[in-house]
Amino acid sequence: MSSRNAEKGKPGAAQPAETAEPREQLSKERIIAAALELVDVGGLEALTMRALGQRLGVEAMALYHYFPSKAALLEAVGQIGREVEAVFGGFFDEMALANVPPGERVVQLGLRYIEFAQTHPAQFTLLFNTLPIELDTWEEFMEAHTTFRIPQTAVQTGIDTGEFHPRTGYGRDEMAYHLWALVHGLAVLRQTRLRSLEADYERLHRALLEALVDTFRGGWVS
């Protein structure tokens, strides 16, 4: 071993300075993405400028160059939510349902919901798992102009035509929620536990939705 190498090996010898990994450039997009990650893990209350700075490896004050306040950051996050909702709504607007009977309309809407989750998995997760609902009560949610209007309208059409029969404790909103709960569960299963399992999901999902339609028509036994 040369004397130079021996010197490098001594405990007290100065070691070459390690080169720090280059930090990714901070940007509005990176900040918003990190903010959504925090919300996804801990809810809206977990989103603070300090926690966001720690997640990005910067001082909290550096964030104010891009967003002058937490309120401004929340507005940017909300704008993303509105854009994703528009994509989701547009996915259903493309359907030709004008002459489709209410029962079959519910089936097709349910299948379309599952298709959206498969086609746009990131946006589906963002809309239905990450972004908070800016409402406080169930009653407000029922009356608000949200994506829940899609199943509500489909069920109301069936009620108006006399095909669906609401009962005490199981009216339009309960029916719409039943529909949403079913298709959301099926969509999540396809994204997670069943993602690599081969099956005729189109047939399975249609069968479940048709059974739900029978419930709307009065086939539900209390």
The beta-strand segments (E) located in the chain are: none
Structure tokens at 175: 């029916």
| 95 & 126 share domain | yes
Give residue-wise pLDDT tens across range 26-80. Answer: 888 889 888 888 877 777 778 899 999 999 999 999 999 999 998 898 888 888 8
Global confidence as pTM: 0.73
- Average pLDDT over the chain, rounded to an integer: 85
Domain membership flag for residue 85:
yes
Give residue-wise pLDDT tens across range 102-127. Answer: 999 999 999 999 999 998 887 888 88
Domain C-terminal end among 40, 68, 96: 68
| 84 & 60 share domain | no
Residues contacting residue 32 through CB under 8 Å, at least 6 positions apart = 73, 76, 77, 80
CATH number at residue 61: 1.10.10.60
Domain total in the chain:
2
Residue 201 CB neighbour total at 10 angstroms: 16
Domain membership flag for residue 1:
no
Would you state the pLDDT for residue 185? 97
Residue-number span of the structural domain to which 137 is assigned: 80-219
| 59 & 144 share domain | no
Distance between CA atoms of 62 and 66, rounded to whole angstroms? 8
Element (H, E) at 83: helix 70-93
| 30 & 128 share domain | no
- The residue ranking higher by pLDDT, 183 or 122, is 183
pLDDT bracket for residue 182 (50, 70, 90): very high
- The residue ranking higher by pLDDT, 43 or 175, is 175
CATH number at residue 138: 1.10.357
Domain membership flag for residue 74:
no
